[in-house]
Amino acid sequence: MSVELTELSGFQRDLLTAAVSLDSRGERVAGADIKEIVEERLDGEVNHGRLYPNLDTLFQKDLIERGMVDRRTNSYQPTARGRQLVSERGDALATLCDCAGVHHVRPVEETDAGVRWASLAGFQRDLLVAIGFLSLGESDIIGLDVRDRLGEQMGVEITNARLYTNLDVLVEPGLVAKGSVDGRSNSYELTADAWRLIRHQQVVLEEATEVQLIADGGDEA
């Protein structure tokens, strides 16, 4: 069974995106090269004890292929499925931003509160995207709406404890605004900062795949 993006941690997604980006540009895709890109996006250091076990996880999930650059250095080329996951998420974010009318929003890598997309857990990123899509058709989005949408996408049951703990994490730095619907249910809405981060991630993913079209002989957009 194919692995889905929602099964990966945020860090694993960033490793995969970095590998796709490097490979698309025809550059070496060694652990040190992936590490450099991810550290830039995190604005922090990634130690080898975190890097290589997660690359091994991507290898075990058939999202990257492990080879040799030389006798001392491994390469980590993305597989077709790995590329597909990055491309599909980029397409989804492009659709979301277009339908929400925020394609003109200025992308930012870091909010004024110091939050980066790369600093968010995978589940927290999925929450933001789910709220964004739900906002296209609903005025008041409650936690159960988000839970049901993500649960269906992930194919697992999401507990209320996991849901609301992570929603509160997103509320605290101002990525999600929490309101009240009927005095009993909380509503959740993306803030301008959340849309700016989503736009930035859309650009990151599009650049990772657009370069591949050029490298393959396609027309440059």
Domains and CATH numbers, the chain: 5-87+203-215 (1.10.10.10), 110-199 (1.10.10.10)
Give Cα separations from 112 to 8, 85, 192 (angstroms).
Answer: 27, 30, 11
How confident is the model at residue 1, as a pLDDT?
65
The two structure tokens encoding residue 93: 């974010």
* Other beta carbons within 10 Å of 100: 16
Question: What kind and span of H or E run contains 208?
Answer: helix 192-215
Nearest to 124 by CA among 52, 61, 194, 191: 194
Residue partners of 110: CB distance under 8 A and separation at least 6: 43, 116
How confident is the model at residue 64, as a pLDDT?
97
pLDDT < 70 stretches in the chain: 1, 211-221
How confident is the model at residue 213, as a pLDDT?
47
The two structure tokens encoding residue 60: 């075990």
Task: Return the amino acid letter for 4.
Answer: E
pTM of the model as a whole: 0.92
Helix-then-strand count for the chain, H and E: 8, 4
Is residue 162 helix, strand or coil?
helix
Give Cα separations from 123 to 10, 11, 26, 166, 201 (angstroms).
Answer: 8, 11, 31, 8, 15
How confident is the model at residue 47, as a pLDDT?
96
Alpha-carbon span 204 to 182, nearest angstrom: 39
Give Cα separations from 175 to 25, 66, 74, 170 (angstroms).
Answer: 33, 37, 38, 5
Alpha-carbon span 46 to 94, nearest angstrom: 29
